[in-house]
Structures are given as C-alpha cells and as structure tokens.
C-alpha cells in the first residue's frame, strides 16, 4: 500500500514522560507541543496530505484547573507559531471540536488562523480542541433535525455522505491510519465515525519522543497491511 493520505494521531503520554524525568506534568505538555511542529514537517516530507491531532478532548476539562490553563496557553501559543509554519509550508490549518466553550480571544485566533491558511493545500493540519466524537455526532444530529424540521433536508435524503457533511470533519477524507502513542490501546472518543475503516497503530513511545523515525515506522507498518472494506481477502 502507498503512504497514507490522512493520519490521525492521539498524542498520549506527555504526563508520564515528564514524571519519568522528574518534571511537572506541564513540562510534558510543553515538550509535546514542541513535537507537533516536528511531526508536521516530517509528515509533509513523507508525503502525507492530512494530519489530524487530538489536542484537547471534551473530557479533558476534568483535569486540574492549572493543567487546563497550561494546555490552553500552549495551544494558543502554538497556533501563533503555526500560522508562520503554514505560510512557509503551504499548510492549511483547521480546528475541529466545539470552540464556543473557549475564551473569545482564542476563538478569534482560531478563526483567523483558519482564514489566512485556507489558500494552502500542501499539508492539511487539523487540531481537535474541545473535541469529542459523541459530542460532534450529537451536534450534527441536532443540525440534521433542524434542517428536516425546516424542510431544508428531506429525511429520505439522509445518507452516510449527507451525514458526513454535518460533521466537523466535512472537508477531510476519512483517516487511513490512526496512531496512538504511549501504550494505551483505545479510541478515547476520537473520530469514532471517521475511523470505521482505518488501520490502527499503537506504540509504547510517549508523544514527546515520537519523532520522524517513529512516524516512518508507523507508515511502514501501514504499508504492509492488507486493507479491506468488507470484501473477500485476496490470497
Ligand atoms: C495526553 O497526555 C496529551 C494531552 C491530553 C494533550 C495533548 C497536547 C499536546 C501534545 C500539547 C499541545 C498540542 C498542540 C497541538 C500544540 P497525558 O497528559 O494524558 O499523558 P499521560 O497519559 O502520560 O498522563
């Protein structure tokens, strides 16, 4: 198989990485944020067109206030830098998730980053912030119901493709490969609809140490898979 067009990543293990080094958890997130830039550039170099990163889930609000604040600050700081990277690398930035719960200033920053980078297509970087797949599907269903109620959509017209168009990921193809770092093997409410036919790759490497070489390993493993969509397996 060829290089996956779309890779989705659950960037796990920042906290454990920091603890092992005797550092506070937030130092792990800082190292993790730094790594995002490296992986974007590596992905582009390796021929990946779409990279979708799970940065903050709908469940992450339950972390201590200081950690939530530190993560939001990191994300906002990263976004500033990211716009520069977008210009240099022709990268289209998108954010998925319910951004209405974020600080108004941060929301504006997101809208602006998406706007200025929308002319680029070499790499599509999507960052999931206050994202949860169940929340995304519920928001989509509410909009479907409203459109059916107002007559904009006929119930008979509701196909998988139409439902897709109500999701935050409507502009993205489904991921070919999901990577989760740091040993856990679960989806944690990430892209449940979109990952229906994706290949999964789990590694024990914590996110701050997941470098270009590790990304290449994941892509190599993907290339050796025999991907199927419910048909008969070739002998
Ligand atoms: C999981 O590590 C990671 C997160 C909850 C947040 C991911 C955020 C970053 C990588 C930094 C900012 C992101 C961007 C896009 C700049 P964890 O804290 O759950 O680690 P643990 O499981 O070892 O405790």
Domain coordinates of the chain in residue numbers? 6-132+174-224
Distance CA 86, CA 93 (A): 7
Compute the distance from residue 141 Cα to the ligand 1 centre, in Å. Answer: 29
Q: Which atom of ligand 1 is nearest to the CA of 25?
A: 18
Q: How far is CA 25 from the centre of its chain?
A: 21
Of 9, 5, 74, 58, nearest in space to 215 by CA: 9
Provide the 8-state DSSP code for 61.
G
**In what side-by-side order are the strands of the sheet with 123-131?**
91-96, 123-131, 50-57, 6-10, 177-180, 199-202
Distance CA 110, CA 210 (A): 26
Which tokens sit at 15? 């906290």
Give the CA count within 13 Å in the CB-facing half-sphere of 188: 21
- Looking at the annotation, which residues are catalytic? 12, 60
Q: How far is CA 92 from the centre of its chain?
A: 13
- 208 Cβ closer than 6 Å to some ligand 1 atom: no
- 63 Cβ closer than 6 Å to some ligand 1 atom: no
Q: Give residue 230's pLDDT.
A: 76
Contact 91, 85 (CB under 8 A): yes
- 32 Cβ closer than 6 Å to some ligand 1 atom: yes
Q: Which atom of ligand 1 is nearest to the CA of 30?
A: 11
What CATH number has the domain spanning 6-132+174-224?
Answer: 3.40.1180.10
- Residue nearest ligand 1's atom 11 by CA: 33
The radius of gyration of the chain from alpha carbons, rounded to an integer in Å, stands at 18
Contact 155, 133 (CB under 8 A): no
Q: Give residue 227's pLDDT.
A: 76
- 91 Cβ closer than 6 Å to some ligand 1 atom: no
Compute the distance from residue 91 Cα to the ligand 1 centre, in Å. Answer: 22
Low-confidence ranges of the chain (pLDDT < 70): 233-235
Compute the distance from residue 14 Cα to the ligand 1 centre, in Å. Answer: 5
- 168 Cβ closer than 6 Å to some ligand 1 atom: no
Map 106-146 to HEC letters. Answer: HHHHHHHHHHHHCCCCCEEEEEEEEECHHHHHHHHHHHHHH
Which tokens sit at 48? 């990946």
Unique residue bearing structure tokens 């493709």 = 161
- Residue nearest ligand 1's atom 10 by CA: 32
Q: What are the two backbone dihedrals, phi and then psi, of residue 52, each rounded to the nearest 5 degrees?
A: -125, 115
Compute the distance from residue 54 Cα to the ligand 1 centre, in Å. Answer: 8
Query: Which of 15, 28, 99, 208 for mutating ligand 1's site (highest number of atoms within 8 Å of CB)?
Result: 15
Q: Give residue 90's pLDDT.
A: 96
Distance CA 29, CA 9 (A): 15
- 74 Cβ closer than 6 Å to some ligand 1 atom: yes
Q: Which phi-psi region, left, alpha or beta, contains residue 23 (left: φ > 0; alpha: ψ -120 to 50)?
A: beta
Compute the distance from residue 28 Cα to the ligand 1 centre, in Å. Answer: 8
């Amino acid at each position: 198989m060829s290089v996956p067009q779309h890779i989705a990543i659950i960037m796990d293990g920042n906290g454990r990485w920091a603890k092992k080094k005797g550092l506070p958890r937030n130092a792990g997130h800082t190292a993790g944020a730094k790594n995002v830039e490296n992986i974007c550039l590596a992905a582009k170099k390796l021929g990946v067109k779409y990279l979708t990163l799970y940065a903050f889930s709908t469940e992450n609000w339950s972390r201590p206030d200081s950690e939530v604040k530190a993560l939001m600050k990191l994300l906002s700081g990263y976004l500033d830098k990211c716009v520069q990277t977008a210009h240099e690398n022709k990268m289209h930035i998108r954010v998925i998730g319910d951004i209405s719960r974020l600080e108004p200033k941060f929301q504006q920053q997101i809208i602006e980053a998406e706007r200025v980078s929308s002319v680029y297509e070499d790499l599509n970087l999507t960052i999931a912030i206050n994202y949860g797949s169940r929340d995304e599907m519920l928001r989509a269903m509410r909009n479907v119901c409203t459109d059916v109620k107002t007559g904009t959509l006929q119930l008979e017209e509701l196909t998988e493709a139409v439902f897709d168009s109500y999701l935050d990921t409507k502009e993205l193809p489904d991921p070919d490969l999901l990577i989760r770092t740091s040993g856990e093997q679960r989806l944690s409410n990430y892209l449940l609809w979109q990952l229906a036919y994706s290949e999964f790759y789990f590694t024990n490497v914590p996110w701050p140490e997941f470098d270009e070489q590790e990304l290449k390993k994941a892509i190599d493993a993907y290339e050796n898979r025999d991907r199927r969509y419910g048909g008969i397996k070739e002998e």
